Amino acid sequence: MRPHNARVEIAAVNPRRGGAVLATVLVACVLALSAQAPARSGRGSVLQSWVLSLSAPVAGAVGSVSHGVSDAIGSTIALFHAREENERLRRELDARERELLQLRAEALAVAEGSKLLGAGSALPGVLGSVPILLVEHRAGAQNALIGAGSSDGVSPGCPLAVPAGIVGRVVTVGRGVSRAQLLLDASAAAGARLARTGELGVVRGDGHGSLVLNNIATTSSVARGDMVETAGIDGIYPRGVPIGRVESVSRGSKLFLEIRVTPSADFSRLTDVLLLAPSPAIKEGAEAGRSAAR
Amino acid sequence: MKAGRILLLLAGAVVLEFFVGRSPYRRFLPVDWFLLATATVARSGDFVRAVLTGTAAGALEDALLGQPLIGVNAFAKAILGYALALVSVRVVFGGAFAVGLALFAASIANEAIVALLSALLAQAPLVIVTPDALWRALATGIAGGALESAWRFPWGEWWQRRRLRRLR
């Protein structure tokens, strides 16, 4: 016969322990029953519906967290992509802006050239418009570098003008650029004629932005404001191109009047000039020089 | 009560339920043998064994009777095992009538719990007190009372007196 264990017997008659066992058994029974009982929705069992009901908030929370994390990761990746794209777009934008500036400059040049050509259609023998690249004012010498050369049909002696009046002439021709002497240069001169009286003289630059008309006799009726134009007698400039207007007339002590002329062309705003055909005398001279060289 | 005896009780309940429960006399003696087995264990005052015996007895009953939900009688008899153990510990009562009355009430409670669970889980109509349930409770109470009387009967003295009467 086995000996009695008093402690086990006392524990067995303890209602609390029995209550715990009862609770466990009842929970197990409820779970077993709910696993068998059909749910009211007709799908699955009551236990499944309970589990789904209990797990739905957890699943929702997990889903929300998952969505949040995936959104955050996606946002981070998108941010990096956006940065790269931003850099690329910025580079493209810079290139486009440069291209736009260039196109605008070209369009402006074309428009200026067209405008110049249109305005200068009254001038004789216009070959085209050329841009001024550089203007030099140095010790009475006033020269300009133009953006056209022999490849563009420029030859030495070609007059340069703007619609308002004569500007100067080409003195040295390169392949793509040429050097021109402005009429304001101290050593430049052009045959001139007073449009009102028809008297002929010589216009010279004073090297300081003004012109002087020489060889007009003191008997002349020239007056302030009279138009001075090219006479076409110097073998360089064609006839009838405006030079300027008489600014002042003084008698001086010699046989000729001292006449100061304000240039018609605005030399301070020279950007493009019209290239005129060279005088026939210069052409002949140049061909004769080439023949002699041969 | 020892585990072996509990198993014997359960086996006896299964045998009686199997043979008597399936017999044509079932309607006249629908005793809940599993409740009697549970009550027998609970009478020892051991809560744990009473609960476990009630659970096992209820599960066996569900299996044998072909309940649609296995576990409703286990649920009910676990509660009844605890309740009967509590009664046997806290209340001092004896006699066949008291035992029969307690078993009658326990059987009614068993039917009520089963009906409630079936209504909750299987959407069955909630009918607690039916004539069958009353008859079953009455039969169980009578059987319990009879067994109590038989248990308490002084069989040894009766046998001695019978022998003495024959010898005279």
Average pLDDT of the residues of chain B: 86
Is residue A188 within 8 A of residue A204, CB to CB? The reply is yes
Residues A139-161: what's their mean pLDDT? 89
Tell which B residues from 17 to 46 touch A, by Cβ distance under 8 Å. 45-46
Q: Does B89 touch chain A (CB under 8 A)?
A: yes
More confident residue, A73 or B66: A73
Count of Cβ atoms closer than 10 Å to residue A294 Cβ: 5
Judged against a pLDDT cut of 90, whether residue B77 lies above it is answered with yes
Radius of gyration of chain B (CA): 17
Residue pLDDT, tens place only, A201-254: 999 998 888 899 998 988 888 999 999 999 988 888 988 899 999 999 988 667
What is the rounded distance in angstroms from the CA atom of residue A204 to the CA atom of residue B160? 175
Q: Does B85 touch chain A (CB under 8 A)?
A: yes
Average pLDDT of the residues of chain A: 85
Judged against a pLDDT cut of 60, whether residue A4 lies above it is answered with no
Q: What percent of chain A has pLDDT over 70?
A: 89
Residue B82's pLDDT band, with cuts at 50, 70 and 90, is: very high
Q: Does B61 touch chain A (CB under 8 A)?
A: no
Is residue A19 within 8 A of residue B81, CB to CB? The reply is no
The DSSP-derived string for B93-140 is --SHHHHHHHHHHHHHHHHHHHHHHHHHHH--------HHHHHHHHHH
Residue B111 token pair = 């039917």
Residue A53 token pair = 């009901």
User: Can you give the three-state secondary structure of B62-94, one letter per residue?
Assistant: HHHHCCCCCCHHHHHHHHHHHHHHHHHHHCCCC
Is residue B73 within 8 A of residue B110, CB to CB? The reply is yes
CA distances from A236 to A131, A147, A191, A243, A281 (A): 21, 21, 9, 14, 8
Is residue B72 within 8 A of residue B105, CB to CB? The reply is no
pLDDT of residue A287: 66
Contacts of B124 in chain A (CB under 8 A): none
How many distinct structural domains can be found in chain B?
A: 1
Chain B residue nearest residue A35, CA to CA: B69
pLDDT of residue B26: 62
Q: Is B52 in Cβ contact with A17 (below 8 Å)?
A: no
Q: What is the pTM of this model?
A: 0.48
Residues A13-20: what's their mean pLDDT? 80
CA A136 to chain centroid: 26
pLDDT of residue A228: 94
Of A7, A58, A21, the C-alpha closest to B82 is A21
**Phi, psi (degrees; rounded to nearest 5) at B29:** -140, 65
Residue pLDDT, tens place only, B27-72: 667 888 899 999 999 988 889 999 999 999 999 988 887 777 888 8
Judged against a pLDDT cut of 90, whether residue B78 lies above it is answered with yes
The minimal CB distance from A21 to the residues B52, B70, B71 is found for: B52
Domains and CATH numbers, chain A: 126-293 (2.40.10.340)
Which residue range forms the structural domain that includes residue B26?
3-167
Q: Does A42 touch chain B (CB under 8 A)?
A: no
More confident residue, A147 or A125: A147
Mutate to test the interface with B, among A4, A9, A29 (most CBs of B within 10 A): A29
Give the H or E element holding residue B20. none
Where b means 16+ CB within 10 Å and e means fewer, A159-187 reads bbbbbebbbbbbeebeeebbbbbbbbbee
pLDDT of residue A11: 57
Residue A43 token pair = 């799908």
Q: Does A32 touch chain B (CB under 8 A)?
A: yes
What is the rounded distance in angstroms from the CA atom of residue A274 to the CA atom of residue A269? 14
Residue B117's pLDDT band, with cuts at 50, 70 and 90, is: confident
Q: Does B91 touch chain A (CB under 8 A)?
A: no
Is residue A213 within 8 A of residue A201, CB to CB? The reply is yes
Which residue bears the tokens 């010790």?
Answer: A139
The DSSP-derived string for A150-165 is GGGT--TT-EEEETTE
The DSSP-derived string for chain A is -PPP-HHHHHHHT-HHHHHHHHHHHHHHHHHHHHHHSBPTTSSSBHHHHHHHHHHHHHHHHHHHHHHHHHHHHHHHHHHHHHHHHHHHHHHHHHHHHHHHHHHHHHHHHHHHHHHHHHHGGGSTTEEEEEEEEEEEEETTEEEEEES--GGGT--TT-EEEETTEEEEEEEEE-SS-EEEEETTSTT-EEEEEETTT--EEEEEE-SSS-EEEE--BTT----TT-EEEE-S-SSSSPTT-EEEEEEEEE-TTSSB-EEEEEESS-GGG-SEEEEEPPPHHHHHHHHHHHHHH-
Q: Is A36 in Cβ contact with B71 (below 8 Å)?
A: yes
Interface ipTM: 0.80
How open is the CA angle A141-A143-A145, to the nearest 5 degrees?
160
Q: Which of A37-41, A147-151, B53-57 has the highest mean pLDDT?
A: B53-57
Contacts of A19 in chain B (CB under 8 A): 47, 82
Q: Does B63 touch chain A (CB under 8 A)?
A: no
Residue A3's pLDDT band, with cuts at 50, 70 and 90, is: very low
Contacts of B121 in chain A (CB under 8 A): 33-34, 36-37, 46
Q: Is A25 in Cβ contact with B78 (below 8 Å)?
A: yes
User: Which of A86-90, A96-100, B63-67 is predicted least confidently?
Assistant: B63-67
